[in-house]
Amino acid sequence: MMSNPKALSLFSGAGGLDVGVIQAGFEVLACIEMDPFACETLRANIEREHRSTKVYEQDIRQVNPIQLLLDLNLQPGELDLLFGGPPCQPFSQIGKRSSLRDERGLLLFEMVRFARSFRPRVILIEQVKGLLNAPDHNGVAGNVFKKLIDELEAIGYHSKWKVINAADYGVPQLRQRVFIVSAREEIDFHFPEPTHSATCNSSLFFSLPPYVTVGEALQGLAEPCQSDGGHSPIDNHVDITPAGDRRRISGVPEGSHLAAQTHLPAEQRRNLTKKDTTKFKRLSRHEPANTLRCGEIFFHPTEDRYLTPREYMRLHGYPDNYILKGPIRGRSGRVRYLDQHRQIANSVPPPVAKIIAQAILEALYAPDI
């Protein structure tokens, strides 16, 4: 390869996919993201890394891909990789699953609109696995996914997909997502084999190392700073736990959740039910984390506090020099834009993005490597 292959990032969020794609060897020419705090995060890291990536803080539906081609000085077919993780809430198995009835579900097909203009060599899409059986307007299960694959096929792209657990690739988190790789040329792409496994069988000669645990991921971090009014120091390692939540998590054993502690006072458990297994959840040092989600902030394994944004980044596989911008908010209240914990929970773990992007590169440039 004479120069770094070129990539374009859609629905960039905090940049988890971007980090992995860049680590794999791509140059990201531009990011499109409408959340202002996520855009602050993207710009801060672009500046820190002295990259020339452009950030378009816009609703993607208002972006003209033909004009963007001109802005980036590209011709159709010159882009190597178009990648993105469109909003997943319409297809999430823990949400209302409103699919295409939710206008955010239609954003998935923006990937096709941009592919039609840019004609990239490869498209990479990340989504919740609920996309695979999400119903269409007529309620037919699986038809949203079929429609996506059919539309990609109609413009010349052949697709492969796989549900991937981030823990299988060294991320200390049990997180299953579907990844779709679509190519407009015949390439020998295969999803990478896992590098870690749930158990380490020492009797096997080629056994994989066990999953990385929360304790291993958090090792070496100093005590967090206390809240400074919603914003964090440069390392994002700040504790914003309200006194009331410190009292409520007190007495919950490592690896368990408050609703299961029926011996604790009713006023401490309040209105939690036995279904509330992720609310007031204390992680275990000896296992990977549960999937990081936007609805809750998980608690530290041994301390009566939330995990900090830096600890969330550790559990997601971000490098320690990555910077988050925007406020850090408590678990209560609705906010319009993404706070730091939700920026991470919404993003793709960079190690997963990297290993898939590396496999794409190997397939694209197999004769040259």
Which residues are catalytic, by number?
A: 88
Element (H, E) at 360: helix 350-364
The label of the residue with tokens 């950030």 reads 55
What distance in Å separates the CA atoms of residue 5 and residue 83, rounded to the nearest whole number? 13
At residue 311, φ and ψ (nearest 5 deg) are -65, -35
What distance in Å separates the CA atoms of residue 163 and residue 129, rounded to the nearest whole number? 7
Contact 106, 100 (CB under 8 A): yes
Residues 6+ apart with CB under 8 A from 109: 147, 148, 151
Question: What does the block give as tokens for 171?
Answer: 């991320």
Element (H, E) at 83: strand 81-84
What distance in Å separates the CA atoms of residue 58 and residue 86, rounded to the nearest whole number? 14
What DSSP line would sit under 288-317, residue for residue? Answer: PBPPP-SS--PBPSSSSSBPPHHHHHHHHT
Query: For residue 23, what is the DSSP state?
Result: H
* Closest listed residue to residue 137, CA positions, set 195, 174, 98: 98
The label of the residue with tokens 């939540």 reads 245
Sign of CA dihedral 204, 209, 214, 216: positive
What distance in Å separates the CA atoms of residue 274 and residue 260, rounded to the nearest whole number? 7
∠ CA 227-172-232 to the nearest 5 degrees? 15
- What are the CA-CA distances from residue 26 to residues 1, 6, 39, 66, 328 (Å)? 11, 6, 20, 22, 31
CA–chain centroid gap for 49, Å, is: 21
* Closest listed residue to residue 278, CA positions, set 302, 308, 303, 252: 252
Query: For residue 137, what is the DSSP state?
Result: T
